[in-house]
């Protein structure tokens, strides 16, 4: 009858409130590392009675903040969570138990938590307590917030973004190395978002020697207090041991305590180690043509991000990647997944096919 909500109406409401939960989750995007960014919205009779997000590892999970805000209004409510509620005791107690204790009637989750300590047990726990669970609402949008966490939990390898700033003709510097500044200030500010999401930034010894970049997170446009953002680890690829870290090293990067020097050729081993030993799930490569070429040729890049400035630097200028396919058949091909104008430049995002 008229009182009954149709299946379609329920699905539309589910998508709407999950979208709001995703908006909550975004607030923790730069600060939750190595934990995922998660949001939760509690809804009763069509009204939001509580919402929250996970702000930082060691602090409460999204569900905990939402339940605290709702109080008794959580009884009989529907909880929208962007990730399966946890079933384990980590730094904090299990959220599935908290939802059960609060007597919510239904839980809608965007996707399962691939963390081996959870992976379906959260949902099972809720269902065993008689709570209705729906899995798979706005999954793609929710998962986009946690590409690194999800990939690392599933494969023990990080999500690797390779960032390159180029001219229209794919050049990154003049033959003498001068490159300040090819892309606009706006594009360089945008890179701060990439850094702020990354557990580690990888660069090469050549880049350190030539540019000595600070590779720090600086932007005041990130929307969060900079002191809340865990500093990305900086890894310098230094196969030939050209750099010696010390207090009076000529390079600022080498003087930083958090800098790691990687002295072997094995990039796969490095990436695996970054996950296993350092919990770096999102990795950003900001280096020169040589390093970029190595990552690409070894198929280690998940996302190629090109900031392209509207200028031509000419055929004597430096190319963006050192890569030598022997025939057209060996070309590397990508899908363009987004394009956006930033300041005077184009930001192009590609995924390998």
Kindly list the residues in this chain that would bind Zn ion in the complex (CB under 5 A).
Answer: 61, 86, 95
Q: Which two tokens stand for residue 6?
A: 């149709």
Cβ 213 to Zn ion shortest distance, Å: 37
Cβ 163 to ligand AOF shortest distance, Å: 26
Q: Which does 255 bind (CB under 5 to 8 A by kind): Zn ion, ligand AOF, none?
A: none
128 CB neighbour count, 10 Å cutoff: 10
Q: What is the 3-state secondary structure (H, E, C) of 198-249?
A: CCEEEEEHHHHHHHCCCCCCCCCCCCCCHHHCCCCEEEEECCCCCCCCCCCC
Site residues (CB under 6 A) for ligand AOF, limited to 278-307: none
Cβ 238 to ligand AOF shortest distance, Å: 32
Q: Which does 83 bind (CB under 5 to 8 A by kind): ligand AOF, Zn ion, none?
A: ligand AOF
Cβ 65 to Zn ion shortest distance, Å: 11
Q: Which does 118 bind (CB under 5 to 8 A by kind): ligand AOF, Zn ion, none?
A: ligand AOF
Cβ 351 to ligand AOF shortest distance, Å: 25
Cβ 34 to ligand AOF shortest distance, Å: 7
Site residues (CB under 6 A) for ligand AOF, limited to 11-70: 35-36, 38, 54, 57, 61-63
Q: Which residue, 94 or 288, has its beta carbon nearer to ligand AOF? A: 94
Q: Which does 115 bind (CB under 5 to 8 A by kind): Zn ion, ligand AOF, none?
A: ligand AOF
Q: Which does 113 bind (CB under 5 to 8 A by kind): ligand AOF, Zn ion, none?
A: ligand AOF
Site residues (CB under 6 A) for ligand AOF, limited to 108-127: 113, 115, 118
Please state the separation of Cα 81 from the chain's center in Å: 19
Q: Around 109, how many Cα atoms within 13 Å sit in the side-chain half-sphere?
A: 25
| 93 φ, ψ (degrees, to nearest 5) | -70, 165
| Alpha helix stretches (DSSP H) within the chain | 7-26, 62-70, 95-101, 121-128, 139-143, 147-155, 185-196, 205-211, 252-255, 267-278, 289-297
Q: What is the DSSP secondary-structure string of 164-203? A: EEE-TTSEEE-TT---TTSS-HHHHHHHHHHHHT-SEEEE
Site residues (CB under 6 A) for ligand AOF, limited to 80-99: 83, 85-86, 90-92, 95
Which of the residues 7, 63, 127, 286 is marked catalytic?
63
* Residue of closest CB approach to ligand AOF: 90
CA distances (Å), origin 217, targets 55, 69, 206, 214, 250? 18, 32, 21, 9, 21
Q: Which does 243 bind (CB under 5 to 8 A by kind): ligand AOF, Zn ion, none?
A: none
Q: Which residue, 121 or 171, has its beta carbon nearer to Zn ion? A: 121
Pick the closest to residue 85 from 34, 130, 36, 49 (CA basis): 36
Q: Which does 62 bind (CB under 5 to 8 A by kind): ligand AOF, Zn ion, none?
A: ligand AOF
All residues at 6 or more sequence positions from 28 whose CB lies less than 8 Å from its CB, including other chains: 37, 38, 39, 53, 54, 55, 56
Cβ 96 to Zn ion shortest distance, Å: 8
Element housing 261 (H / E): strand 259-262
Q: Judged by CB under 6 A, how many residues of this single chain contact ligand AOF?
A: 18
| 148 φ, ψ (degrees, to nearest 5) | -70, -50
d(Cα 348, Cα 328) in Å, to the nearest integer?
Answer: 23
Strand 39-44 versus strand 78-81 pairing type? antiparallel
Q: Which residue, 64 or 234, has its beta carbon nearer to ligand AOF? A: 64
Judge whether 63 counts as a catalytic residue: yes
For binding to ligand AOF (CB under 6 A), which residues are involved? 35-36, 38, 54, 57, 61-63, 83, 85-86, 90-92, 95, 113, 115, 118
What are the residue numbers of the active site? 63
């Amino acid at each position: 009858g008229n009182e009954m909500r149709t299946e379609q109406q329920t699905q539309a409401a589910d998508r709407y409130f999950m979208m709001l939960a995703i908006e909550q989750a975004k607030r923790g995007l730069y600060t939750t590392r190595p934990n995922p960014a998660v949001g939760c919205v509690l809804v009763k009779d069509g009204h939001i009675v509580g919402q929250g997000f996970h702000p930082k590892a060691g602090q409460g999970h999204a569900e905990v903040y939402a339940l605290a805000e709702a109080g008794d209004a959580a009884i009989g409510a529907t909880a929208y969570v962007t990730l399966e509620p946890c079933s384990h005791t980590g730094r904090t107690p299990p959220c599935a138990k908290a939802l059960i204790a609060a007597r919510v009637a239904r839980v809608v989750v965007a996707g399962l938590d691939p963390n081996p300590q959870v992976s379906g047990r959260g949902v099972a726990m809720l269902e065993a307590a008689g709570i209705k669970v729906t899995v798979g609402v706005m999954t793609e949008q929710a998962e986009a917030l946690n590409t690194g966490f999800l990939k690392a939990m599933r494969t023990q390898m990080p999500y690797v973004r390779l960032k390159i700033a180029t001219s229209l003709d794919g050049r990154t510097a003049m033959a003498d190395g001068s490159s300040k500044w090819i892309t606009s200030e706006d594009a360089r500010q945008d890179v701060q978002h990439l850094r702020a999401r990354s557990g580690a930034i990888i660069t090469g010894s050549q880049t350190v020697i030539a540019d000595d970049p600070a590779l720090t997170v600086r932007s005041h446009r990130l929307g969060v207090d900079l002191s809340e953002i865990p500093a990305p680890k900086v890894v310098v690829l230094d196969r030939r041991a050209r750099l010696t870290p010390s207090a009076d090293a000529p390079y600022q990067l080498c003087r930083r305590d958090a800098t790691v020097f990687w002295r072997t050729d094995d990039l796969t081993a490095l990436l695996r180690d970054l996950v296993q030993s350092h919990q770096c799930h999102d990795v950003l490569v900001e280096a020169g043509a040589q390093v970029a070429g190595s990552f690409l040729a070894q198929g280690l890049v998940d996302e190629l991000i090109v900031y392209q400035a509207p200028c031509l630097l000419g055929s004597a200028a430096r190319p963006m990647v050192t890569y030598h396919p022997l025939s057209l058949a060996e070309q590397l091909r990508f899908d363009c997944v987004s394009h956006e104008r930033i300041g005077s430049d184009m930001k192009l995002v590609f995924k390998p096919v």
